[in-house]
C-alpha cells in the first residue's frame, strides 16, 4: 500500500510541475470549409486548452502530501 501511495504522489508531483511548465495544450484541427465536386477546401485552426495554475498547484501539493504520508506509514 505504501508504494502505491508514493507512486500516486510522484505522478501528481510530475503532473503539477508539467502544468506549470506548459500552462496549456495547443492542438491543430482540420475543418472542411467547402466541397465543390472533387475539390475540397479545408482550414487548419489552432485551438488551445488552458490549464489553470491553481490546478497545477493543487496537484503539486497533493502529491507532496501523499509522498509524506507514504513515507510516514513505512516508518511505523
Query: At which residue does the C-alpha cell 501511495 appear?
Result: 5
Cα separation, 6 vs 28, in Å, equals 36
Q: How many domains does the chain have?
A: 1
Question: For 18-62, what is each residue's pLDDT tens digit?
Answer: 988 887 888 899 888 888 888 889 999 999 888 888 999 999 999
Q: Show the cell assigned to 68.
A: 509524506
Task: Provide the pLDDT for residue 15.
Answer: 92
Domain extent at residue 9: 2-75
Say if CB 75 and CB 10 are below 8 A apart. no
- Give the start-end residues of each E strand in 1-76: 24-36, 39-50
- How far is Cα 51 from Cα 65, in angstroms, rounded to an integer? 22
Q: Between 2 and 32, where is the model more confident?
A: 32
Confidence at residue 68, expressed as pLDDT on a 0 to 100 scale:
93
Query: Is pLDDT of 1 > 80?
Result: no
Please, are residues 66 and 8 in contact by the beta-carbon 8 Å criterion? yes
Amino acid at each position: 500500500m505504501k508504494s502505491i501511495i508514493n507512486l500516486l504522489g510522484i505522478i501528481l508531483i510530475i503532473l503539477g510541475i508539467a502544468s506549470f511548465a506548459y500552462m496549456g495544450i495547443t492542438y491543430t484541427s482540420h475543418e472542411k470549409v467547402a466541397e465543390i465536386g472533387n475539390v475540397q477546401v479545408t482550414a487548419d485552426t489552432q485551438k488551445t486548452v488552458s490549464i489553470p495554475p491553481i490546478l497545477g498547484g493543487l496537484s503539486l501539493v497533493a502529491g507532496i502530501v501523499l509522498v509524506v504520508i507514504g513515507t510516514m506509514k513505512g516508518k511505523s
